[in-house]
Structure 1
Amino acid sequence: MRYVKNRKPLSDTSHEDDPLSGVANLFDLSLVFIVAVLMALFAVFADQDILKPNSEWTITKKNDKGELEIITKKNNEIKVQKVTDKKLSGKGTRLGMAYKLDDGRIVYVEDK
């Protein structure tokens, strides 16, 4: 008789047998991942004052095709420029000279 009293009924299933508990754990894991990514982004951009309205910054980005983009922000205006290797032609004015130093740095000197 003691065996019958201590035995749990079959309808009382524990959470370990619940098939949706794994899905809930994946949802929790995805929330933690999203929060971690947001924290990392804010940590990276905190030094550049990306959220201030009067800030100025420049970001270079290379996509999977190898194309280079230059993203610049000045005050409230954001410009995206794509860098290409195509040759251009047309009229223009000379702005100055660029010199490459021995250590690899490039110096630009404006014409007056």
Structure 2
Amino acid sequence: MNYKELVRQELERLEEETDPMLSVVNMIDAFLAVVIALLLVLVNSPFNPFTKEDYVLVKNPDKENMEILIKKGEKLERYVKTQSVGEGKGVKVGITYRLEDGTLIYVPEE
């Protein structure tokens, strides 16, 4: 090898290392990896709108801003805690007892 060939090879190597398209391709690969990770998180989330499962979610239990989200099929219901007392007409259907350990037991009336 002569000096000119060595210089030409070194210039080709430097040109390959500083190719701006390589950095663009690397950015696209990183972006695709992030998108795939976010899609996997969405698929495994209980808030996935495409899931067939029903669920109940309680946000901030026993606090002033407590919310209950109920998903049945494609319907999503949201209940927000308020200070108002419910009222209406109804029939007594049973009694609920709270045990010393905090467990609630419901006894239906016959």
- TM-score tier (shorter): 0.5 to 0.7
Structure 2 unaligned blocks of 5 or more: none
Pair 1:107 & 2:89 matched: no
1:37 and 1:6 mapped to 2: Cα distance? 51
SS at match of 2:15: coil
1:34 is aligned to 38
SS of equivalent residue, structure 1 residue 14 = helix
For residues 18-39 of structure 1, what are the alpha-carbon distances to aligned partners after superposition, in whole Å with 9 as ceiling and x for unaligned? 3434522430331232133135
**Number of paired residues?**
101
The runs of 5 or more residues in structure 1 that have no matched partner are none
Instruction: Return the alpha-carbon distance in structure 2 between the equivalents of residues 110 and 60 of structure 1.
Output: 26
Identical amino acids, percent of aligned pairs: 21
Q: Does 1:88 align with 2:85?
A: yes
The structure richer in helix per residue is 2
Does 2:4 match 1:4?
yes
- TM-score, normalised relative to structure 1: 0.55
In the superposition, the TM-score normalised over structure 2's length comes to 0.56
Higher Rg of the two aligned structures: 2
Cα RMSD after superposing both structures: 3.9
